[in-house]
Amino acid sequence: MEVGTYFYRLKQIDRNGSFTYSDIREVEVTAPQRYELTQNFPNPFNPQTDIVFRVKEEGVVTLKVFDLLGREVKTLVNEKKGAGVHRITFDAHALPSGVYLYSITMGSFHDVKKMLLVK
pLDDT digits (tens, 9 = 90+) for 65-112: 999 999 999 999 999 999 989 999 999 999 999 999 999 999 999 999
Q: Is residue 12 part of a domain?
A: no
pTM of the model: 0.79
Q: Is residue 79 part of a domain?
A: yes
Q: Is residue 16 part of a domain?
A: no
- Domain holding 81, by residue range, is 31-117
Q: Is residue 90 part of a domain?
A: yes
Q: Is residue 102 part of a domain?
A: yes
Calculate the CA dihedral of residues 43, 46, 52, 58 and round it to 10 degrees.
Answer: 140
Q: Is residue 38 part of a domain?
A: yes
Number of domains comprising the chain: 1
The answer to whether the beta carbons of residues 47 and 93 sit under 8 Å apart is yes
Q: Is residue 14 part of a domain?
A: no
